[in-house]
């Protein structure tokens, strides 16, 4: 199955962007260093594949996969192009470096984020990682071979997953217009574009961190979120939509036509943020997804690239949880 981790990036973004500050505090100097540990996990129930055009498919099994990620981050923030008005008083630039570790991979990550005005953040970043397998069930890095078909393990530290990206995030908080602790209706709109590649292979399709059906090429992600922030332990609730895919179907090579390489995945999710303490936050997410539906009777994920796309299949995709600790 396609077992992407349910990263709750929007929740983290909102918790920082819409921090509950008084006007006096918001103009103070930003703390220079921040060190954090983020642990994420996801559980995926089994959802039956049905043939035919766009439709819904229910849960028909208790378990179809799980995933866990731990990330250590160090961020350095300093004032940047600050002005004397409310739109530029908090302008800053943040340099972030981290290490992402899963049971089957390790990957350094880095990014630079700039806030040129209160409601906009621009960022660039990248990740370079390598993976390994734990038995036949947990693969970190593999290439697709149609002859069997199978995802064949690749040699760790001889092959690398590379992803570089740039993004823009627009933000809105109703409390900026109507002050009050209970007036924080918040919204974000993010567009991210990047290029991903698996080095050292000519395979059209490959696997990274147990996520099957990937291909080298230019990819995009759009994310829209609306939520309500409260001065409670349950500090933020909201719903979001994520649209993701490849710009070009040809990235999938010989599989691009039938498999529809430029298929756009749609995720609709709900999220809650729980403020455990000043340095600890917990995020919980439930995700519904639209994946490819096929004309032929579904066999398994190894045969999927050779099947014929014919619509969307909506499923309950999974549950995610994330804990963030500030040191």
Q: What is the pLDDT of residues 115-125, one digit of tens each?
A: 999 899 999 99
Statement: residue 104 has pLDDT above 70: yes
Q: Is the pLDDT of residue 20 over 80?
A: no
- 241 assigned to some structural domain: yes
Note the pLDDT of residue 80: 85
Which residues touch 69 (CB under 8 Å, ≥6 apart)? 5, 7, 39, 40, 41, 100, 101, 102
Min mean pLDDT across 86-95, 100-109, 273-282, 300-309 is at 86-95
Structural domain span for residue 109: 9-326
- pLDDT above 90 covers what percent of the chain? 78
Whether residue 310 lies inside any domain: the answer is yes
CATH number for the domain harbouring residue 68: 2.40.128.130
**Region 163-188 average pLDDT:** 93
In order of 31, 48, 63, 240, the CA distances from 10 in angstroms are 22, 29, 26, 9
Domains identified in the chain, total number: 1
Residue 101 is predicted with a pLDDT of 97
In this prediction, residues 122-142 reach a mean pLDDT of: 92
pLDDT at 82 over 90: no
180: left (phi > 0), else alpha (psi -120 to 50), else beta?
A: left
Give the per-residue pLDDT at 113.
96
Cβ burial of 190 (10 Å; 0-12, 13-18, 19+) is: buried
**Which of the four pLDDT bands, split at 50, 70 and 90, describes residue 6?**
low
Q: Look at residue 3 and tell me if it is in a domain.
A: no
Q: Is 70 exceeded by the pLDDT of residue 173?
A: yes
The torsion region of residue 87 among left (phi > 0), alpha (psi -120 to 50) and beta comes to alpha
pLDDT tens for each residue of 306-321: 999 999 999 999 999 9
Nearest of 171, 170, 139 to residue 155 by alpha carbon: 139
Reported as half-sphere exposure (CB side, CA atoms, 13 A), residue 316 has a value of 15
With 80 as the cut, is the pLDDT of residue 8 above it? no
In a domain, 88, yes or no: yes
What would the 3-class secondary structure string for the chain be?
A: CCCCCCCCHHHHHHHHHCCCCCHHHHCCCCCCEEEEEEEEEEEEEEECCCCCCCEECCEEEEEEEEEEEEEEEEEEEEECCCCCCCCCCCCEEEEEEEEEEECCEEEEEEEEEEEEECCEEEEEEEEEEEECEECCCEECEEEEECCCCEEEECCECCECEEEEEEEEEEEEEHHHCCCCCCCEEEEEEEEEEEEEEECCCCCCCEEECCEEEECCEEEEEEEEEEEEECCCCEEEEEEEEEEEEECCHHHHHHHHHHHCCCCCEEEEEEEEEEEEECCEEEEEEEEEEEEEEECCCCCCCCCHHHCCEEEEEEEEEEEEEEEEEEC
Name the token pair of 312.
């969307």
Q: How far apart are CA 12 and CA 23, in angstroms?
A: 22
Q: Mean of the per-residue pLDDT values for the chain? A: 90
What is the pLDDT, as a whole number, of residue 3?
A: 47
User: pLDDT at residue 12 above 60?
Assistant: no
Residue 85 has pLDDT above 90, yes or no: no
- pLDDT value, residue 305: 95
Whether 183 is in a domain gets the answer: yes
The pLDDT assigned to 30 comes to 52
Is the CB of residue 159 less than 8 Å from the CB of residue 130?
yes
In a domain, 146, yes or no: yes
Domain-embedded: residue 216 = yes
Check pLDDT > 50 for residue 2. no
Q: How does pLDDT run across 25-45, given as a tens digit for each residue?
A: 444 455 699 999 999 999 999
**Six-digit token pair at 10?**
């929007």
> Of 15-24, 146-155, 267-276, which range is least confident?
15-24
The pLDDT value recorded for residue 236 is 96
Given a cut of 50, whether residue 183 has pLDDT beyond it is: yes
| Domain annotation covers residue 262 | yes
N residues, the chain: 327
pLDDT of residue 7: 53
Q: Is the pLDDT of residue 208 over 80?
A: yes
* pTM score: 0.90
């Amino acid at each position: 199955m396609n077992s992407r981790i349910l990263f709750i990036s929007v929740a983290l973004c909102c918790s920082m962007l819409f921090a509950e500050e008084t006007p006096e505090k918001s103009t103070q100097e930003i703390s220079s260093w921040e060190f954090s540990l983020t642990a994420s996990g996801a559980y995926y129930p089994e959802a039956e594949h049905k043939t035919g055009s766009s439709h819904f498919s229910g849960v028909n099994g208790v378990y179809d996969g799980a995933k866990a990620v731990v990330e250590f981050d160090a961020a350095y923030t300093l004032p940047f192009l600050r002005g004397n008005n409310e739109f530029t008083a908090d302008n800053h630039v943040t340099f972030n470096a981290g290490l992402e570790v899963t049971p089957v991979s390790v990957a350094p990550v880095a990014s630079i984020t700039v806030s040129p005005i209160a409601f906009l953040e621009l960022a660039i970043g990248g990740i370079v990682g390598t993976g390994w397998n734990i038995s036949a069930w947990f693969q970190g890095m593999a290439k697709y071979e149609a002859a069997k078909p199978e995802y064949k393990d690749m040699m760790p530290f001889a092959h690398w997953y590379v992803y570089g990206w740039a993004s823009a995030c627009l933000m809105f908080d109703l409390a900026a217009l109507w002050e009050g602790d209970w007036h924080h209706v918040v919204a974000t709109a993010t567009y991210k574009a990047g290029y991903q590649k698996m080095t050292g292979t000519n395979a059209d399709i490959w696997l990274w961190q147990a996520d099957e059906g990937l291909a080298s090429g230019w990819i995009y992600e759009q994310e829209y979120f609306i939520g309500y922030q409260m001065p409670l332990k349950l500090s933020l609730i909201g719903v979001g939509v994520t649209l993701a895919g490849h710009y070009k179907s040809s990235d999938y090579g010989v599989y691009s036509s039938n498999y529809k390489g430029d298929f756009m995945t749609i995720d609709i999710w709900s999220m809650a943020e729980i403020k455990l303490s000043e340095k600890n936050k917990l995020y919980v997410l439930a995700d519904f997804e639209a994946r490819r539906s096929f004309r032929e009777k579904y066999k398994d994920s190894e045969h999927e690239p050779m099947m014929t796309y014919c619509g969307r299949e909506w499923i309950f995709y999974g549950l995610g949880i994330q804990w963030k600790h500030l040191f």
